[in-house]
Amino acid sequence: MARIDLDLAHSYVKNPRQDNDYALLPLKMTFEEGGAYALLGPSGCGKTTLLNIMSGLVTPSQGTVLFDGRDVTGDTPQQRNIAQVFQFPVIYDTMTVAENLAFPLRNRKVPEAQIKKRVGEIAEMLEMSGQLNQIASNLAADAKQKISLGRGLVRPDVSAVLFDEPLTVIDPHLKWQLRRKLKQIHHELKLTLIYVTHDQVEALTFAQQVVVMTRGRAVQMGSAADLFERPSHTFVGHFIGSPGMNFLAGRVDGDGFHVDGLTLPLLPGRVLPTGEIKLGIRPEYASLVAADTEGALPMTVSMVQDVGTHIMLSSRLNGHLLKARLPADAAQLSPGDTVWMKVMNEHSCFYQNEEIVP
Amino acid sequence: MSATVKPVNQKAWFLILPVLICVAFSAIMPLMTVVNYSVQDIISPTQKVFVGTEWFAAVMRDEELHGALLRQLMFSFSVLVVELPLGIMLALSMPAEGWKSSAVLVIVSLSLLIPWNVVGTIWQIFGRADIGLMGAALKGLGIDYSYTGNPVHAWLTVLLMDVWHWTPLIGLLGYAGLRSIPDAYYQAASIDGASKAAVFWYVQLPKMRGVLMIGVLLRFMDSFMIYTEPFVLTGGGPGNSTTFLSQFLTQKAVGQFDLGPAAAFSLIYFLIILLLCFILYNWMQRVGTQEKEGSHE
């Protein structure tokens, strides 16, 4: 196990000139020993590149990777003693399930008795004990992926185990089960786990700390609550949550926040720089208030969706769209109605140039 | 019209008629002609006697044929033993991408494009002790090399010629197999700490299995039917040391005009190839895929 410090940038192009040439823009990040992390972002955001840099499959074009303070930038995956599980199952066709699981240990000349014990434990954990003597190539895709997971977890002394969207090929029911299993394994083995995914539910339920990435940039690292309550970048607000955060573009001066000729006074004690600013509010925190309330916005209802447990209300104010999550017993509304929404409260966040204003 | 009942039109059978006629003329009728010859003694165009299985019995007891069959088996076996590992090595050492890979692909396939009798001629000249590069070089090294006089030299030269001519086929097939392995397999093997040998044994070889199987079958069938190259190079000699089955057959059918025994032998020859391919194919299908019972109990 190891603490991983990254201070690097990576480009697949030889002489990167602009930001677009970089697969990963310069970033600085620390993964603590024994933590469960997730790298979350849309496809092509650089999360797999970052993972491959940590495992040593890709050497960063600039900067360093430190394991426990030791520079391992030029080391192979083997020298780094890292385990990685890939998106699609990789199994050794000619071997049995047991031989597949034992392979990483055999290559490292672990004594046979110890291998047998460890393979037994891992098979038990993955509920594959009954299939140990079957040839792996004859199994179904999810069983094969379980073997891949098992090979990732079989070495007890690894620096970290990296997962690259390992549950893509697994069907939803088993996905949930395996994710829980991974969490449990994390508890039992105290391994450093880093998990790449584009699924926020997967990331938020699995990891203690989530790194949100977009276009080669790591925009925020934080717990699920941090990402939800105080997204440090409008992308995080937009990407996390379903639906994402509402943003109202406006202007701040001495009187308060101005949007479409309306003025919302700031909360007492809240100081903001004057100028163009976006107000961000989660649909969960926008509330319905009585007509003509001070600091509320008159919105026109555009859509009402009854989701059963709650009502999702979409409303417009000129060009601005505001989604709100209302209790299931909220007043009967229909498109065209005017409602007054309060968006300025202690949960409101403010963004200048897409970055949060503290 | 009902949608649930499939319309039946027996006229559709006529559509396969052209194929049937083609196959009849190209395969079934020539084969039946051979069968016809194999059970008769044809003395003259008007005089023939039905002899039943007599020719088959005679051919099976023919000492010369036993010798040719044994040489043939030895030769085909040697061809596989040499060409398979060599072809795999060739495939592994070929560059994976870029202009180099295209260039190497073209160079490697060159020998496959040369007609059989030209290959024989090339090696006939190549091996000559007076003007041939190889022959003269060996002579210069003090080896008394002669593919026309020494049976061992003749045999080795024929083998070497076949290896030169056909190893690239295995190489190209293996190369195609290697290129179809996803990168993730190499990455996973590297993460699992596999050595180069382990990567070859557990990733590359199993993934090449399908194409190599085709390669082995092709090389086996082709080498078992080899005719032109040794015929041009050694003419089957010295003695009959490089007389393989098809040449033996030709001598019988064309040289001595023994059509009956030749036909009987043709059928036996055909059955031998069919049987050996069947055995080879089934064996290779099973290699590395059967359940390993009790190996972890």
CB atoms within 10 A of CB B220: 19
List chain B residues with CB under 8 Å of A130: none
Sheet holding A246-253, edge to edge: A262-264, A256-259, A246-253, A275-281, A349-352, A355-356
Q: Say yes or no for a CB contact (<8 Å) between A87 and B184.
A: yes
* Gap between the Cα atoms of A355 and A234, Å rounded: 7
Asked if A159 has any chain B CB less than 8 Å from its own CB, the reply is no
* Cα dihedral A85→A233→A217→A319 (10° resolution): 100
List chain B residues with CB under 8 Å of A78: 190-191, 193
Q: pLDDT averaged over consecutive 10-residue blocks of chain B (297 residues)? A: 70 88 91 87 80 83 86 92 94 89 91 89 87 87 83 89 93 92 90 89 90 90 86 80 84 77 87 88 73 39
Mind telling me how many Å the CA of A88 is from chain B's nearest CA? 8
In B103-130, which positions are buried (b, 16+ CB within 10 angstroms) versus exposed (e)? ebeeebeeeeeeeeeebbebbbebbbbe
* Gap between the Cα atoms of A87 and A48, Å rounded: 10
Alpha helices in chain B (DSSP H): 17-23, 29-38, 54-61, 63-93, 99-109, 116-126, 133-140, 151-179, 183-191, 196-199, 205-224, 228-233, 245-250, 259-286
Q: Quick check: helix, strand or coil at residue B235?
A: coil
Q: Which amino acid is at B59?
A: V
Q: Say yes or no for a CB contact (<8 Å) between B297 and A133.
A: yes
A107 closest CB neighbour out of B198, B203, B207: B198
Q: Say yes or no for a CB contact (<8 Å) between B207 and A93.
A: yes
- How much is the pTM? 0.76
B192 closest CB neighbour out of A57, A107, A134: A107
User: Which helix (H) or strand (E) is A196 found in, with range?
Assistant: strand A193-197
A103 closest CB neighbour out of B192, B293, B297: B192
pLDDT tens across the length of chain A (358 residues): 678 888 888 888 887 777 778 888 888 888 888 888 999 888 888 888 888 888 888 888 888 888 888 888 888 888 888 889 988 888 998 888 999 999 999 988 889 898 999 899 888 888 888 888 888 888 888 888 889 988 988 888 888 889 988 888 777 877 888 888 888 888 887 888 898 988 888 888 888 889 998 888 888 888 888 888 889 889 988 888 888 898 988 888 878 888 888 888 888 878 888 888 888 899 888 888 888 777 788 888 888 888 888 888 888 888 888 898 888 777 678 888 888 888 888 888 888 888 888 8
List chain A residues with CB under 8 Å of B207: 93
- Give the distance from CA A109 to its chain's centroid: 36
ipTM (interface pTM):
0.77
Q: Which residues are A289's β-sheet partners? A: A340
Q: Per the structure block, which two tokens stand in for B97?
A: 């991408």
Q: Quick check: helix, strand or coil at residue A337?
A: coil
Q: Measuring CA to CA, how many Å separate A15 from each of A50, A61, A283?
A: 19, 10, 44
**Domain at A243-356: CATH code:** 2.40.50.140
Handedness of CA A93, A98, A104, A105 (dihedral sign): negative
Interface of B with A (CB under 8 A): 182, 184-185, 187-188, 190-195, 198, 202-203, 206-207, 288-297
Size of interface A-B (CB pairs under 8 A): 73
Q: Quick check: helix, strand or coil at residue B181?
A: coil
Sequence-ordered list of residues with C-beta below 8 angstroms from that of A158, at least 6 positions apart, any chain: A1, A81, A82, A83, A191
Mind telling me how many Å the CA of B96 is from chain A's nearest CA? 18
Q: Say yes or no for a CB contact (<8 Å) between B193 and A95.
A: no
Concatenated DSSP letters of A133-160: TSBGGGS-HHHHHHHHHHHHHS-TT-S-
* Gap between the Cα atoms of A170 and A141, Å rounded: 7
| Every domain range in chain B assigned CATH 1.10.3720.10 | 68-243
Identify how many contiguous H helices and E strands chain A contains and give both numbers. Answer: 9, 21
pLDDT per residue as tens digits for the range B126-181: 988 888 888 888 888 888 888 888 888 888 889 999 999 999 999 999 999 999 99
Q: Which residue of chain B comes nearest to A90, CA vs CA?
A: B185
Whole-number pLDDT of residue B177:
92
Asked if A169 has any chain B CB less than 8 Å from its own CB, the reply is no
**Domain at A4-235: CATH code:** 3.40.50.300
List chain A residues with CB under 8 Å of B294: 133
Q: Which amino acid is at B277?
A: C
User: Which helix (H) or strand (E) is A259 found in, with range?
Assistant: strand A256-259
Pick from A281, A213, A250: nearest CA to A41? A213
Q: Say yes or no for a CB contact (<8 Å) between B202 and A92.
A: yes
Q: Say yes or no for a CB contact (<8 Å) between A92 and B290.
A: no
Q: Say yes or no for a CB contact (<8 Å) between B193 and A133.
A: no
φ and ψ of A64, to 5 deg: -135, 155
Q: Say yes or no for a CB contact (<8 Å) between B190 and A57.
A: yes
Q: Quick check: helix, strand or coil at residue A313?
A: strand
Q: Which amino acid is at A205?
A: T
List chain B residues with CB under 8 Å of A163: none
List chain B residues with CB under 8 Å of A144: none
Asked if A76 has any chain B CB less than 8 Å from its own CB, the reply is yes
List chain B residues with CB under 8 Å of A112: none
Whole-number pLDDT of residue B288:
56
Sequence-ordered list of residues with C-beta below 8 angstroms from that of B63, at least 6 positions apart, any chain: none
The region that residue A297 occupies, defined by phi over 0 for left and psi between -120 and 50 for alpha, beta otherwise, is beta
Asked if A92 has any chain B CB less than 8 Å from its own CB, the reply is yes
Q: Which CATH superfamily is domain B68-243 in?
A: MetI-like (1.10.3720.10)
Whole-number pLDDT of residue B103:
92
List chain B residues with CB under 8 Å of A82: 191
List chain B residues with CB under 8 Å of A93: 206-207, 288
- Any idea where the domains of chain A sit in the sequence? 4-235, 243-356
Q: Say yes or no for a CB contact (<8 Å) between B188 and A148.
A: yes
Q: Which residue of chain A comes nearest to B287, CA vs CA?
A: A94
Q: Helix B205-224 vs helix B63-93: angle between axes, to the nearest 10 degrees?
A: 150
Mutant choice from B185, B192, B199 vs A, greatest count of A C-beta within 10 A: B192
CB atoms within 10 A of CB A260: 13
Whole-number pLDDT of residue B294:
39
CA terminus-to-terminus distance, chain B:
64
Q: Which residue of chain A comes nearest to B186, CA vs CA?
A: A90
Q: Say yes or no for a CB contact (<8 Å) between A133 and B291.
A: yes
List chain A residues with CB under 8 Å of B194: 103, 107
Q: Do domains A4-235 and A243-356 have the same CATH topology?
A: no
